[in-house]
Chain A
Amino acid sequence: MKALITDIQRFSLSDGDGIRTTVFFKGCNMKCTWCHNPETINAGSELMFYKLKCIGCGKCFETCPNGAHSLENGTHIIDRNKCVNCGKCAEICYAEALVMCGKEMSVDEVVAEVKQDKAYYDESNGGVTLSGGEVLCHKDFAKELTEACHKEGIKVATETNLCFAFDYAKELLEKVDLIMCDLKIFDDNAHMLHTGVSNKTIIENIKKLDSLNIPFIVRTPLIPNATDSMENIESIANFIKGMKNLRRYEILNFNPLGEGKYKGLDRENKFESARPADESSLSNIKSKLDEIGINYKIV
């Protein structure tokens, strides 16, 4: 079995307990307007172009079968209508200005990479984190990978948007050691507007999650004018407060590092000018969460 993996990031410190390796799957069932991993949204391989790395050798012009590469006013551009993401140009771009995002990998190949850091997981109570994209879009692969990691004595956490039928999701979720699920917006209309889907299934699934007896973390990314209202944070916190397997509520401050990826994909970034919440806003959130009395962490 194979899955399309966009990246395997070792020595990750912010995706769960201890020191971890994060495996990013490609393809997502939601379309969050702020996504800071935009290269993981589409299910197929995609060409990314990092202009600053281009050395101007022109080899891609000669290689592309569809003439997608051209110069416009001295600038190298890609005609995305002509590009079929065949990857031929990326194969000969050693400067890594052109990179194919998404590599088909087998479970064995992923395990071979992640198990190299087993000593770090063992010392720090870390492990592997499945991320995306949306992991549940690759449920069977993720399940097999989790089992293979467990055989190696490696713990597995998964990130998920939980926007699936619970029985389907459960097949993976009951196998992992920690679940990190997102509840981005509590109001369903706003959720629909910003993510393209309703949050009803997610909310129902979070209620059911507690029954699995697996620790879970609920996370809300702090997106300016989308998720960052006090009302939203308060509603989510009140909703999850008291769940017995809830380890904590995590507020993830806005991450602007997706900007380079949007450029690399020639895609519009609707949050280009957005910045992380400042100390005073974070302090207000802390006060509110303290008042609610929920265990939380702001990342």
Chain B
Amino acid sequence: MSEIRLINKFPADEKFTYDKRIKLLRETKIKQTEEKARNGGANEDDYGLIVQDEFDYKLKPNHPNGSIYGYKAWTENYCAILDSHPLYCNPLDAFVGKGFLFLERLRPADKKWNPAYPFDDLQKLFDKYNVISGIDNCHHFTPDLQIGFDLGWGGILAKLKEQRELHDETHYEFYDSEIAVVEAIIRFLNRMADEIKELGDKENNPELKANLYEMSEMNKKIAAAPPETFKEAIQWMCWFSMLSRTYNRGSAGGQLDEMLRPYYERDTEKGILTDDEAVFYLACLFLQDSRYFQLGGPDADGKDMTSKISYLCLDAADKINIACNLTIRVHDNLDEEFFKKSVAYLFKNKQGWPRYSSDTALAEGFMKCGYPLELARKRVAAGCHWMCMPGMEYTMNDTIKINLLKTFEVAYYEMMEDSGEKSVERLWEIYKKHLKIAVDATGNGIMHHLKYQSKTQPELILNLFQHGLIEKGVNITDGGANYYNMCVDGSGIAVVADSFAALQQRIEKEGKISFEELTEHMKNNYEDKDGEYIRQLMQHSERYCGGNTLGDKWAKKVSEVYTSLVRDLNNQHPGINFIPGFFSWSNTLGLGRTVAATPNGRKAYEAINHGANPNGGFRKDGAVSAMCNSIGAIQPGYGNCAPVQLEFDPGIVNDEEGIIKMADMIRTIMNTGNTLLNINIIDANKILEAHKDPFKYPDLVVRVTGFTAFFAMLSPEFRQLVVDRVTSVNGNKIKTEENQ
């Protein structure tokens, strides 16, 4: 268990540079990560959480089932947590702001949704098609932290009180809860400032003592007042991060360089901030939490937003070099030097950051939903595979997954078990029918969620950072947001496309096997007589990402139909915009676990493909270009993502020329229809060793899906998934007898 107040760790005469402090802070972080991993780990973001044994909170339920529902219970529990939450403080750090728990996870896992608002009929369909409906999920949209920078917690409180006076009693539940929450936050921050001062009194090292006193003063100030300096703004962000995480893991992110630029410019002009200090503060921000931030990209007029601070952000991430979720938005006018520098850091550190998004594909797509270009450009990288306009939209991004493969299985066995014709054409018709049922049910689920979410879990923190919500006095799900853009992801497109292609090629074009024979082998999981031979036959048919293959044609067809079905939800639910994407997040194992053997040679219950990526072995040369061309061709094209995930051996880049080639590759991928690009650079042998003994490389970071994580934190099953992905690309670099 980690210590949470790390004072008197150094002799009184010890001196510190910023680099030394970063190095020591990083070492502590790696140690804390190891502790988290030994404590069970997690298949998700790092969140900057600290495992400790000093503080525990016991949920105070307001329902006999042991859970909490509605404004009052969430408010009371959250305020109680803040009133008892201890301080985490490392005198080496520039900031405080570490949290220990998420209130949302203190609820019984199967009792999250308020049982007063059942959806049993929908649930039957979700079970049938293995849909992750997103009902009861929270916080997958982006706050605009500028609201906090402008008002501070005190200003927000004043605004809440002022607006309460202007509304009738139907809004009092909202206002009273929000007011209680913000008061608790201010109380908490004041207490933290006092406790930091007490630590300062006890600290023996004068340099660290001075830092603690300064930290205390700064925190006292921003407990209620808005931040005024670069340093205060980052401290404010650190607390926002902790406060929203502690409530419900809430999102943040945004255009980091632009958010901080005014403070940076003002402070450097005044001579109260050096670049070394700025880099140190930014490194401490990245250390505090692995939030998603965007750098670079066009402003509303298309002018590149890259500035000095963008460079400093990269330098800071390089110095701290841990799990970072930085996204560079690639566009025609992107500062070339900045772009090249980001690529150089990606290959130097091999920690999966930064990743890249395409302004062209994202903006053009979002405009197809009817938004102007200026708004499309405000939609910044904010999550694993998603973009959001900070403070302007409610999205449910990344919370909804329709298992396209389970839907295929339902269709396949319906065809095989009735007396009708067995053909690919007929299967396609049946598949479309079931896909529509699954998509429509998902749309109805989203509407159910919107209708009753505030009775389950109001967004008491993120509501405060939405434009117009305080004025309206309603929870974001109750119609207060400016826009409702609901993300609906399909998962498993590669397995479905490869299955259709294998059936068409092997049964109908080549006549190698019949539907009946194949079905028998599938039912026996290809483990019967000739089963493996048939599995190889099916698996080696023309696959998705092969380059103008049958698999590619089917993937496009599936994408087109899926996209039109999701877009049709707009007609069914006017006023809400539904946006399709292809992504699995870390559900590849779970979604695969519900589907038996498939016609593409996949064995029963194996994982589905990751995101929009192909199945392993899609081409003999594993050509990145072929893969990305195909992924570019299946983008739904309405502003959400079907990301590309690449795995490279470190040997791919040895010099400056190699960096330039990689930069050219990234630009091409971003210019050929693709929306988002994640890159892992991992030595296959190293990851195999780390898989055996995760603590051998406790600082090894991988980009798991959209997020980066410490490899040691992942479960063995999930580590295997990452290992499989890496070795399927870098397999020839593995030290085996055959490869020696």
Contacts of B533 in A (CB 8 A): 55, 57, 59, 94-95
B 655-675 to A, binary, CB cutoff 8 A, 1 in contact else 0: 001101100110110011000
**Beta-carbon contacts under 8 Å, A113-149 to B:** 113, 116-117, 119-120, 122-124, 126
What distance in Å separates the Cβ of A251 from its nearest Cβ neighbour in chain B? 13
From 580 to 632 in chain B, residues with beta carbon under 8 angstroms from any chain A beta carbon are: 619-621, 623-626, 629
Whether A124 pairs with B665 at a CB distance below 8 angstroms is: yes
Give A1-21 interface residues, CB cut-off 8 Å to B.
Answer: 7-11, 13, 18-19
Do B547 and A120 have beta carbons less than 8 Å apart? no
Q: Is B65 an interface residue (CB 8 A)?
A: no
Whether A57 and B530, one on each chain, are in contact in the complex, defined by CB atoms closer than 8 angstroms, is yes
Q: B652 CB to closest chain A CB, in angstroms?
A: 7
- A177 beta carbon closer than 8 Å to chain B: no
Interface residues of B in 334-350 (CB under 8 A from A): none
Given contacts A52-B738, A55-B533, contact A116 B626 (CB under 8 A): yes
Q: How many residues of B contact A (CB 8 A)?
A: 32
Are B661 and A124 in contact (CB-based, < 8 A)? yes
- Residues on B with C-beta less than 8 A from A116 are 547-548, 625-626, 629
* Across-interface contacts of A124 in B (CB, < 8 A): 660-661, 664-665, 668
A122 nearest CB across to chain B (Å): 8
Report yes or no: B652 in contact with A120, Cβ–Cβ below 8 A: no
Nearest-CB residue, chain B, relative to A122 = B668
A151 to chain B, nearest CB (A): 19
State whether A19 touches B548 (Cβ < 8 A).
Answer: no
**How many A residues touch B, CB cutoff 8 Å?**
30
**Are B532 and A119 in touch, CB under 8 angstroms?**
no
- Asked if B536 lies at the interface with its beta carbon under 8 angstroms from chain A, I say yes
A257 within 8 A of B: yes
- Chain A minimum-CB-distance residue to B660: A124
Let me know if B740 is at the binding interface, CB within 8 A. Answer: yes
A297 neighbours in B (Cβ, 8 Å) = 657
**A120–B665 CB distance below 8 A:** yes
- Is B626 within 8 A of A119, CB to CB? no
Nearest chain B residue, comparing its CB with the CB of A124: B664
Select B625's contact among A19, A52, A257, A260, beta carbons within 8 Å.
A19
A259: interface (CB < 8 Å): yes
What is the distance, in angstroms, from A42's C-beta to the closest C-beta of chain B? 20
* Inter-chain contact B547/A123, CB cutoff 8 Å: no
A187 within 8 A of B: no
Contact partner of B671 (CB less than 8 A), chosen from A7, A57, A113, A123, is A123
Q: Specify which chain A residues have a CB less than 8 angstroms from the CB of B732 in the assembled complex.
A: 257
Check A95/B536 contact, CB under 8 A, given A11-B625, A260-B739.
yes
Q: For the complex, give the distance between the alpha carbons of A120 and B661 in Å.
A: 10
Please state if A19 and B658 are interface contacts (CB–CB under 8 Å).
no
Q: Are B532 and A19 in contact (CB under 8 A)?
A: no
Q: B187: CB under 8 A from chain A?
A: no
Min Cβ gap A145→B in Å is 18
Task: Name the residue on A nearest B530 (C-beta).
Answer: A57
Q: Which residues of B contact A13 (CB under 8 A)?
A: 652, 658, 661
B537 interface contact, C-beta 8 A: yes
Task: Give complex CA distance A206, B313 in Å.
Answer: 50
Q: Is A96 engaged at the interface, CB distance under 8 Å to the other chain?
A: yes
A55 to B535 Cα, complex, angstroms: 11
A140 to B498, CA, bound (A): 38
In this assembly, does B540 line the interface, its C-beta being within 8 Å of a C-beta of chain A? yes
Residues of B667-694 at the interface with A, using a CB-CB cut-off of 8 Å, are 667-668, 671-672
CA distance A10 to B671 in the complex (A): 18
A225-240 vs B, CB cutoff 8 Å, 1 = contact: the mask equals 0000000000000000
Known contacts: A10-B623, A94-B537. The answer to whether A55 contacts B547 by CB under 8 A is: no
Instruction: State A179–B652 Cα separation when bound (angstroms).
Output: 23
Contact with A along B715-740 (1 / 0, CB 8 A): 00000000000000000100000111
Q: Are A113 and B547 in contact (CB under 8 A)?
A: yes
B531-561 interface bits toward A, Cβ cutoff 8 Å, 1 = contact, 0 = none: 0110011011000000110000000000000
Contact (A123, B668) CB under 8 Å given A11-B626, A94-B533, A96-B540: yes
Interface residues in A55-89 (C-beta closer than 8 Å to B): 55, 57, 59
Contacts of A119 in B (CB 8 A): 629, 668, 671-672
- In the bound complex, residues from chain A placing their C-beta under 8 Å from that of B658 are 13
Indicate if the CB atoms of A120 and B621 lie closer than 8 Å: no
Which residues of chain B have C-beta atoms less than 8 A from A18's C-beta? 661, 664
- Interface of B, secondary structure class, is helix
Residues of A within 8 A of B619 (CB): 10
Cβ of B548 to closest chain A Cβ, rounded Å: 7
- Chain B residues contacting A122 (CB-CB under 8 Å) are 668
* Minimum CB–CB distance for A233 against chain B, Å: 20
Most buried by A among B533, B540, B547, B738: B533
Q: Which residue of B lies closest to A97 (CB)?
A: B536
Nearest CB in chain A: distance from B549 CB, A: 11
Q: Which residue of A lies closest to B626 (CB)?
A: A10
Q: Is there contact, CB below 8 Å, between A57 and B664?
A: no
In the bound complex, residues from chain A placing their C-beta under 8 Å from that of B652 are: 13
Q: A13 vs B664: C-alpha distance in the bound complex, in angstroms?
A: 11
Q: Tell me if B536 and A94 are in contact (CB < 8 A).
A: yes
Contact B665 A19 (CB under 8 A): yes
Separation of A185 and B702 alpha carbons in the complex (Å): 44
Name the B residues within 8 Å of A59 (CB-CB).
Answer: 533
When distances are taken between beta carbons in the complex, the residues of chain A under 8 Å from B547 are 10, 113, 116
Chain B residues near A9 (CB, 8 Å)?
Answer: 621, 623
Q: Mark A10-52, 1 if CB is under 8 A from B, else 0.
A: 1101000011000000000000000000000000000000001
Neighbour of A123 across the interface among B623, B629, B667, B738, CB < 8 A: B667
Bound complex: CA A95 to CA B732 (Å): 18
| Nearest B residue (CB) for A112 | B548
The 8 A CB mask of B509-545 against A (1 = contact, 0 = none) is: 0000000000000000000001011001101100000
A259 close to B740 (CB less than 8 A): yes
Whole-angstrom distance between the Cβ of B195 and the nearest chain A Cβ: 53
Give Cα distance in the complex from A260 to B620, angstroms.
15
Please determine whether B664 and A19 come into contact, CB atoms closer than 8 angstroms: yes
Indicate if the CB atoms of A260 and B738 lie closer than 8 Å. yes
Asked whether, in the complex, the Cβ of A11 is within 8 Å of the Cβ of B624, the reply is: yes
A275 to nearest B CB, angstroms? 10
Q: Please state if B738 and A57 are interface contacts (CB–CB under 8 Å).
A: no
Complex: how many Å from CA A68 to CA B738? 24
> Which chain A positions have C-beta within 8 A of B657?
297
Query: Within the complex, what minimum Cβ distance (angstroms) separates B372 from chain A?
Result: 28
Contact A120 B668 (CB under 8 A): yes
Closest to A99 in B: B620
Min distance, Cβ A23 to any Cβ of chain B, angstroms: 12
CB distance from A51 to the nearest CB of B (A): 9
Tell whether A120 pairs with B532 under 8 Å between CB atoms, given A13-B661, A18-B661.
no
- C-alpha gap A57/B661 in the complex (Å): 43
Using a CB–CB cutoff of 8 Å, the interface residues on chain B facing chain A are 530, 532-533, 536-537, 539-540, 547-548, 619-621, 623-626, 629, 652, 657-658, 660-661, 664-665, 667-668, 671-672, 732, 738-740
18 examples of A-B residue contacts, CB within 8 angstroms: A9-B623, A10-B625, A10-B626, A13-B652, A13-B661, A19-B665, A52-B738, A57-B532, A94-B537, A94-B540, A95-B540, A96-B540, A112-B548, A116-B629, A123-B664, A259-B739, A259-B740, A297-B657
8 closest cross-chain pairs (CB), A and B: A124-B664, A10-B623, A94-B536, A11-B623, A94-B537, A95-B536, A57-B533, A123-B668
**Which positions in A face B, CB cutoff 8 Å?**
7-11, 13, 18-19, 52, 55, 57, 59, 94-96, 112-113, 116-117, 119-120, 122-124, 126, 257, 259-260, 263, 297
Beyond A55-B533, A119-B672, A257-B739, list 11 extra A-B contacts (CB 8 Å): A11-B623, A13-B658, A19-B625, A55-B536, A59-B533, A94-B533, A116-B626, A119-B629, A123-B668, A257-B732, A260-B738
